Amino acid sequence: MFLIAGEALIDMVVTPEGTYRPVPGGAPFNFARALALQGLGARYLNPFSDDAFGILLKSTLEAAGAEHVGRISHRPTSLALVATNDQGHPHYSFYRAGVADRDFDHAALARFDAMMVSGFHTGALALVPPDDELVLTAARRFRARGALCTLDVNMRPQVASSQGIDISRYREAALEMIACADVVKVSDEDLANLGYEDKPEVSARALLSRGPKLVVLTLGPDGAWAISQDNQTFQAAYRVKIVDTVGAGDCFYAGFIAWLHHQGALAELRNRAPALPALEKALAHATVCAAINITRQGCQPPTWEEAQRWQGRGG
C-alpha cells in the first residue's frame, strides 16, 4: 500500500469559448488515482474540503479505486487556472492561501502504523516551504521503517514566489527531499530550477550522489531516461495526437512504479536499482501510460489492462 501526500486541487481549464471548466487535479492526487488504476493500493492523506469541489475530488479519487484516509476540512478547495498552448502544454496560476489540502499536520501522520505502509510518495507543491517540513518528516519516518520513498520533484517556482518564498530556500527543500527518496522523478525544467546546468542526463545522474537509487528523467516529447549508478536507458516518446499534457507526468510515474511492482522488482529498490531489462520495460510501460493520457482532456489515467492492450497492439 502506498501512502500519498501532497496537493489536491481543482484545475480551472480555459475552454476555447473563454469559459472555465473545473477538473480534479494536483500532481500527488493524480498520482494516487493513476497508481490505483494500475492495480496498486493507494491511500491519499491530505484533507479534502467540505465544499462542492472537495466532494468532487473525493468522489473522483474513490472512483479510481484509491482511498481517502485524510480528514474533511472546512477550508475551501485550492484552485489552479490552466491555459494550454498550441502543443497542449499547460500554464498554471495557483490559488493556495488557507486551502483544505494544506490543512494538514503531524497528528494526521501519527494515525498510521508505518508497518502498513510499503511506499510513501510526495512531491510538487508539498515541497514548497513551509509545507516541506511535514512531508520530509513523513518520508524519514516511513523510510526508517522499511517503506520505499518515491518523489516527483515537479517544481513550481511561481507558487513559491507568490508566497514570498525565496527560490534558494525552495531549492534547498527540494534537494533535502531528494536525499530522502529511493526513486526520484525529475524533468529537465526541474533540473534547471534546482540549479543544474549540464545536459539533463548528466545533471540527473549527479542527483544519484545525494542518495536515490534511481532517477527517472522526463523530457516531454523528447522521451525519458531511467538512470542508476550501474545502468541507464532511454525510451522515446510515442507519437500520438495531443489533446493536452495535463497529468501526463503523473500517469507516467505511476505506470513506471506499477510495472516494477507487478514484476516483483519494486521491493529491492530500497537496496539497489533494478537490472537494465526491468528498467527498459518499466520505462516503456510508463511511456504508454503517458501517451494514453495525453490523447484525453485533463488527467484521465489508463488502467493497467488498458496500457497493456495499447502496447500489445503497438499503440
In a domain, 84, yes or no: yes
By the 8 A CB rule, do 101 and 135 touch? no
CATH number at residue 41: 3.40.1190.30
Confidence of residue 88 (pLDDT cuts 50, 70, 90): low
pTM: 0.94
Instruction: Find the domain containing 34 and state its range.
Output: 1-104
Q: Which is it for strands 119-123 and 90-95: parallel, antiparallel or unpaired?
A: unpaired
Cα atoms in the Cβ-side hemisphere of radius 13 Å centred on 49: 21
Would you state the cell numbers that stand for residue 292, as one nine-digit string? Answer: 494514453
94: in domain: yes
CB-based contacts of 229-235 (< 8 A; 24+ apart in sequence): 229/273, 230/273, 231/273, 231/275, 231/276, 231/279, 232/201, 232/205, 233/276, 233/279, 233/280, 233/283, 234/283, 235/280, 235/283, 235/284, 235/286, 235/287
Count of CB atoms situated within 10 Å of the CB of 140: 14
Q: What are the cell numbers at 21?
A: 471548466
What are phi and psi for residue 169, nearest 5 degrees? -70, -40
CA distance 293 to 236: 16
Q: Chain centroid to CA 83: how far?
A: 20
- Average confidence score pLDDT of the chain: 92
Q: Which three cell numbers stand for residue 276?
A: 537494465
Q: Is residue 99 part of a domain?
A: yes
Mean pLDDT of 163-182: 96
Pick the most confident of 81-90, 250-259, 264-273: 250-259
Instruction: For residue 57, give Cα distances in angstroms to 9, 17, 172, 236, 310.
Output: 8, 25, 31, 33, 28
- Structural domains of the chain, count: 1
Give yes or no for a contact between 188 and 219, defined as CB atoms under 8 angstroms apart. Answer: yes
Q: Which helix (H) or strand (E) holds 90?
A: strand 90-95
Pairing of β 224-227 and β 48-49: unpaired
Task: Classify residue 223 as left (phi > 0), alpha (psi -120 to 50) or beta.
Answer: left
Q: By the 8 A CB rule, do 132 and 7 touch?
A: no
pLDDT in tens, 102-133: 998 777 777 776 557 899 999 999 999 999 99
CA gap 258, 75 in Å, rounded: 33
Q: Which three cell numbers stand for residue 264?
A: 516483483
227-245 as b/e: b if 16+ CB within 10 A: bbeebbbebebbeeebebb
Confidence of residue 252 (pLDDT cuts 50, 70, 90): very high
CB of 49 closer than 8 Å to CB of 74: yes
Is 19 part of any domain? yes
Of 43, 87, 48, give the one whose Cα is nearest residue 67.
43
Q: Is residue 78 part of a domain?
A: yes
For 32-48, the pLDDT digits (tens) are 999 999 999 999 999 99
Q: Is residue 52 part of a domain?
A: yes
Q: Is residue 16 part of a domain?
A: yes
In a domain, 113, yes or no: no
183-234 confidence digits (pLDDT tens): 999 999 999 999 999 999 999 999 999 999 999 999 999 999 999 999 999 9
φ/ψ region of 298 (left if φ > 0, alpha if ψ in -120 to 50, else beta) reads: left
Chain center to CA of 287: 15
Which residue is associated with the grid cell 494544506? 102
